[in-house]
Structure 1
Amino acid sequence: MTKSELIAELAAANPHLLGRDVELIVQTIFDEISTALSRGDRVELRGFGAFIVKKRDARTGRNPRTGDTVSVEEKTVPFFKAGKELRERVNQRASRQRRAAPSVAAKT
């Protein structure tokens, strides 16, 4: 789902809100998460997950095109850890899809 699809679905689910208001709400949420992460803060959305910043140490890597070794500097990267409820919902859906799909072995 893209950001514009998210905005469209939220606007459709909340007809009492103007489309531009829904867009502003979504953008504000994303901006606040980005601002908190840039400060090094953790953002936790109960039942959904947590956004944190992780530190990656400097290392020696390889240029995939040439194979030459290159030094990669230390950096911080955003990281998302799914919450328990989200993991369970995703796993339930995946298991339902596996059960609903016909087995390849059964066809042979």
Structure 2
Amino acid sequence: MASRDDELYSEIGRILFESAPENAQIILLDAELSPEDDHAKFLYDYVDTKGVKTWFLPGTPATDSLLLERLVELRKYFVANNLTNGKPAWHGCLVTVDLEKMKINLDYRYD
């Protein structure tokens, strides 16, 4: 049985996959969450089949809401399970989804 953080990673990857352009090979999301968990700044990029990096906007505003919900839940999971290594909770992250390898990676930013 997958842990909740694994489920959240999978959901974040699925949301990004469904919102990315068809020719995307790698999807990048730079996310900055508010301390209050009520809003975020998202920058979307993708790398296409020719290796060219380009920004994009998801087709629906619901994408931002869904990602905010999942990322806030993930951050709360980190705090509740003492996964911050004694640091304050992370405030942002760079999400990389490699569609060829079907892998997701999150690089967290801490203050």
Q: TM-score, normalised by structure 1?
A: 0.29
Highest relative contact order (Cα 8 Å, sep 6+), 1 or 2?
Answer: 2
Greater percentage in strand: 2
Larger Rg belongs to: 1
Q: TM-score, normalised by structure 2?
A: 0.29
